[in-house]
């Protein structure tokens, strides 16, 4: 008898749970049909401002809110190339809050004069109007064999080498990382680094990334202040094993 009562109770609980899910689904759609959404808010954004996100996902026209549902809103925001994840909630008072998690941008790639974002997962993204990227290093002069296409994945060894340089700079010296302006791949030749507020280009070469960053760290304060050993020099060369060469020459092939 008790076993039968327990089964009936469990069945009732299951029915109530399913009814709740169906009610919430219907309730959400019903609110949309009544046009009770008055405002949509975007949070968690850094690459673009809220207005740009709403405009680019066609969520900026309040007269069209009557035709929206929460799943539709989420689908639209997830279609934006910068968005990795999104949570969409209705506050019950006419407001919808979209909390997004953006893809992590590693650098800006310059290809045939056109800039693109590249994520930590090597995905190429368009650099949209209004995007914020002033603190990102630029990766330039890619080999001609590399094809840069929006939303494609570019995990070629050349790009991996540039990423290793970025990561090593960040781990070695935060100031050096923050001032890194350009990683010139020179179409497969010796890599050259340039830093903001530093007049000397750095012929970085290839390989030995961690060790070379330690060498740069030793010189970093002098490079920033343009004093002492770097004051009258034109470049720093790290291509020689266990040596730093600070030179002055008109023919060092930096192009």
- Whether 98 maps to a domain, the answer reads yes
Q: How many domains does the chain have?
A: 2
**Domain edge (last residue) among 69, 102, 135:** 102
**Domain edge (last residue) among 102, 127, 154:** 102
- Whether 16 maps to a domain, the answer reads no
Alpha-carbon distance of 77 to 252, in angstroms, equals 49
* pLDDT score for 28: 47
H/E stretch holding 3 reads helix 2-33
Q: What number of helices (H) and strands (E) belong to the chain?
A: 6, 12
Please check whether residue 141 is in contact with residue 187, taking contact to mean a CB–CB distance below 8 angstroms. yes
Q: How does 204-235 read in b/e, with b if 16+ C-beta sit within 10 Å?
A: bbbeebeebbebbeebbebbbeeeeebeebeb
User: 158 and 172 in one domain?
Assistant: yes
CATH number at residue 123: 3.40.50.11690
* pLDDT score for 10: 63
**Domain edge (last residue) among 71, 102, 133:** 102
Full residue range of the structural domain in which residue 129 is found: 105-247
pLDDT bin (cut points 50, 70, 90) of residue 22 is low
User: 185 and 122 in one domain?
Assistant: yes
Please check whether residue 205 is in contact with residue 190, taking contact to mean a CB–CB distance below 8 angstroms. yes
Top pLDDT among 6 and 172 is at: 172
* pLDDT score for 47: 96
User: 109 and 98 in one domain?
Assistant: no
Residue 212, CA distances (Å) to 7, 88, 164, 229, 245 in order: 70, 46, 12, 18, 12
pLDDT at 94 over 70: yes
Q: What is the mean pLDDT of the chain?
A: 86
Top pLDDT among 245 and 177 is at: 177
pLDDT digit string, tens, across residues 203-212: 999 999 999 9
User: 57 and 145 in one domain?
Assistant: no
- Whether 85 maps to a domain, the answer reads yes
pLDDT digit string, tens, across residues 214-234: 999 988 988 888 766 666 778
User: 56 and 149 in one domain?
Assistant: no
* pLDDT score for 221: 86
pLDDT digit string, tens, across residues 230-253: 667 788 999 887 777 776 655 555
Share of the chain above pLDDT 90, in %: 62
Q: What is the mean pLDDT of residues 81-95?
A: 95
User: 94 and 122 in one domain?
Assistant: no
What's the residue count for the chain? 255
């Amino acid at each position: 008898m008790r076993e039968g009562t327990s089964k009936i109770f469990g069945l009732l609980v299951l029915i109530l749970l399913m009814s709740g899910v169906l009610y919430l689904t219907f309730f959400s759609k019903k609110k949309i049909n009544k046009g009770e959404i008055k405002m949509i808010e975007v949070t968690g954004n850094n690459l673009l401002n809220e207005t740009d996100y709403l405009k680019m996902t066609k969520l900026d026209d309040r007269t069209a809110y009557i035709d929206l549902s929460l799943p539709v809103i989420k689908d639209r925001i997830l279609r934006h190339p910068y968005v990795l994840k999104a949570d969409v909630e209705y506050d019950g008072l006419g407001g919808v809050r979209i909390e997004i998690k953006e893809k992590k941008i590693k650098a800006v790639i310059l290809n045939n004069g056109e800039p693109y974002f590249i994520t930590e997962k090597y995905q190429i993204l368009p650099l949209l109007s209004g995007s914020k990227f002033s603190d990102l290093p630029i990766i330039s002069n890619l080999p001609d064999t590399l094809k840069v296409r929006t939303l494609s994945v570019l995990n070629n060894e050349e790009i991996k080498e540039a990423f290793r340089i970025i990561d090593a700079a960040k781990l070695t010296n935060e100031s050096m990382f923050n001032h890194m302006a350009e990683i010139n791949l020179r179409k497969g030749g010796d890599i050259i680094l340039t830093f903001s507020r530093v007049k000397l280009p750095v012929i970085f070469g290839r390989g030995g990334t961690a060790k070379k960053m330690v060498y740069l760290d030793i010189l970093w304060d002098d490079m920033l202040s343009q004093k002492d050993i770097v004051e009258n020099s034109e470049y720093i060369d790290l291509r020689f094993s266990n040596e730093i060469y600070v030179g002055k020459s008109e023919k060092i092939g930096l192009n």
